Amino acid sequence: MSKISAAITAVGAYVPDFRLTNKVLETMVDTNDEWITTRTGIKERRILKDKDKGTSYLAIKAAEDLLKKSKVDPAEIDLVIVGTATPDLPVASTAVYVASEIGATNAFAYDLQAACSNFLYGMSTAASYIESGRYKKVLLIGADKMSSILDYTDRTTCIIFGDGAGAVLFEPNEEGLGLQDEFLRSDGKGRPFLRIEAGGSLLPASEETVKNKQHYVYQDGKSVFKFAVSNMADVAAKIMERNKLSHDDVHWLVPHQANKRIIDATANRMGLDNDKVMMNIQRYGNTTSATLPLLLWDYEKQLKKGDNLVFAAFGGGFTWGAIYLKWAYNS
Ligand code: UT7
């Protein structure tokens, strides 16, 4: 029997209707469309306005889109993983709730947290379960309601992030398609540069932490940028070299959507023209766990069976890495 590889066999996604444009942000903080566009590439982002809906709402919608398109019976799903930096609740996994709501009644479920690398690390986790032969259907969802942790008076963070969710199904493949190789890294030295200070075990919530706005995302953008731009390019180049892929062999770069300048630098290092680089940052901003599956969702029709895709991401922690995957179907 040939070796089992783990292929993506279906994609789904969801973004909320409300569009927060750069023009509207100009009325909220001291910023302007020109600064945001040239420094980040973002024009607008989607926001989940409903106060009573959390990340699970986005994740469920994305999963339902996948199930509807693929006609997969949710009762056949073995495992549901939700990558998220904004779980519904600090305790009681979002994935467990999502699995029940979508009818994945025979699955177990858990959350995964590695900030903006959530989906990338999740691909590794999901694929390993399939490759081992232990499970046949693993649903991986990346979902974040970033608006729930943003300070809309802080122009350095509120212009960057948006809400959204994407989902993929991993299944066994015997044609050698699916995940081929991964190079995943992390470095705890990055912790001070991108974090939420309070609300965890180190600094539990108190009147003081609320007053000091320590429950919002803090980012030292310049430092994170420096690490992201070199590390994302390094790992993408490394995975190409290790798999003897020339720029002609790579059909698509699927890069985390944090900043267009970081994406351009990565593509440049790989020797890729713009038409091989997936990009939707202009429409959604940085949706943290959802950027990679939202790209697959937007570009699905252009993907062909056998295409070589290189995924790359960088996030808080720090966490980063690259994955080489062969696309498994024509849509
Ligand atoms: O997804 C997880 C990983 N995250 C990332 O990869 C994000 C990495 N970082 C970045 O993308 C960029 O650092 C930012 C987009 C966050 C910031 O861009 P930058 O080019 O690094 O700007 P900066 O922080 O160096 O700020 C330059 C100037 C400053 O003014 P002065 O000190 O030069 O007078 C800022 O105060 O721009 C100012 N500034 C703004 N101006 C208008 C900062 N934010 C804004 C804003 N509008 N929204």
Residue-wise pLDDT for 117-154, tens only, equals 999 999 999 999 999 999 999 999 999 999 999 999 99
Q: Examine the residue annotation and report whether 256 is marked as an active-site residue of this protein.
A: yes
From atom 1 of ligand 1, which residue's Cα is the shortest distance away?
Answer: 258
The SS3 assignment for 171 reads strand
d(CA 192, CA 223): 10
The reported pLDDT for the residue numbered 133 is 96
Q: What number does the ligand 1 atom closest to the CA of 155 have?
A: 48
Nearest CA-CA partner of 22 in 221, 213, 195, 281: 281
Q: Looking at residue 194, what is its pLDDT?
A: 97
Q: Which CATH class is domain 5-176?
A: alpha beta
Q: Are 5-176 and 179-326 in the same CATH fold? A: yes
The sign one gets for the Cα dihedral 169, 174, 177, 183 is positive
Q: Which of 144, 112, 105 is nearest to 128 (CA)?
A: 112
Q: Ligand 1 center to residue 40 CA distance, Å?
A: 8
Residue 1 has pLDDT above 60, yes or no: no
Q: How far apart are CA 266 and CA 234, in angstroms?
A: 8
User: Of the residues 118, 231, 256, 259, which is catalytic?
Assistant: 256
Contact 33, 26 (CB under 8 A): yes
CA of 229 to the centre of ligand 1 (A): 14
Residue 20 Cα to ligand 1 middle (Å):
19
* Mean pLDDT of the region 198-226: 97
pLDDT, average across residues 96-105? 98
Give every CB contact of residue 320 below 8 A, 6+ residues apart in sequence.
Answer: 117, 184, 185, 186, 228, 231, 232, 235, 312, 313, 314
Q: What percent of the chain has pLDDT over 70?
A: 99
User: Mutation test of ligand 1: which of 38, 39, 146 has the most ligand atoms closer than 8 Å to its C-beta?
Assistant: 39
* 158 given a catalytic annotation: no
Using the atom order of ligand 1, give the atom closest to the CA of residue 229: 6
Q: What pLDDT, in 10s, does the model give residues 252-302? A: 999 999 999 999 999 999 999 999 999 999 999 999 999 999 999 999 999
**Domain chopping of the chain, boundaries:** 5-176, 179-326
Residues with Cβ within 8 Å of residue 276, at least 6 apart in sequence: 250, 251, 252, 253, 267
Contacts of 16 (CB under 8 A, 6+ apart): 46, 47, 48, 49, 58, 163, 164
Structure tokens at 126: 């999901």
CA torsion angle for 60, 66, 67, 69 (degrees, to 10)?
Answer: 140
User: Which atom of ligand 1 is nearest the CA belonging to 25?
Assistant: 48
Say yes or no to pLDDT of 239 above 90: yes
Question: How much is the pLDDT for 52?
Answer: 97
Look up tokens 């390094």; give the residue.
234
- Ligand 1 contacts (CB < 6 A) are 31, 35, 39-40, 116, 155-156, 159-160, 221-222, 224-225, 228, 258-259, 262, 286, 314-315
Tokens of 296: 């697959």
- Say whether domain 179-326 belongs to CATH 3.40.47.10: yes
